[in-house]
Amino acid sequence: MEIWKEGDEEHETIEAAHIKDGVYAINKTFSEKGIYNIIAHTSARDLHTMPKMQVTVGK
């Protein structure tokens, strides 16, 4: 997973753990409020997909 705070140039990469068939997870604690972007770099066979989502931390 690639994670970064909106507006920051530095991205953090975290290796996801395989939980069960098709399910992977990470543990992440956010130290600052803000909007964070998360991209899951997923490869299977000859396909590479990068679904992206945003989460809001704090109010």
pTM score, whole prediction = 0.82
Q: What is the per-residue pLDDT for 55?
A: 96
Q: What is the per-residue pLDDT for 22?
A: 82
Whether residue 59 is predicted with pLDDT greater than 80 in this model: the reply is: no
Which residue, chain included where needed, has tokens 């690639």?
Answer: 2
Phi, psi of 51 (to 5 degrees): -65, 140
Best CA proximity match to 43, nearest among 7, 16, 6: 16
Which residue, chain included where needed, has tokens 């396909």?
Answer: 47
pLDDT in tens, 15-58: 999 999 888 999 999 999 999 999 998 888 888 889 999 999 99
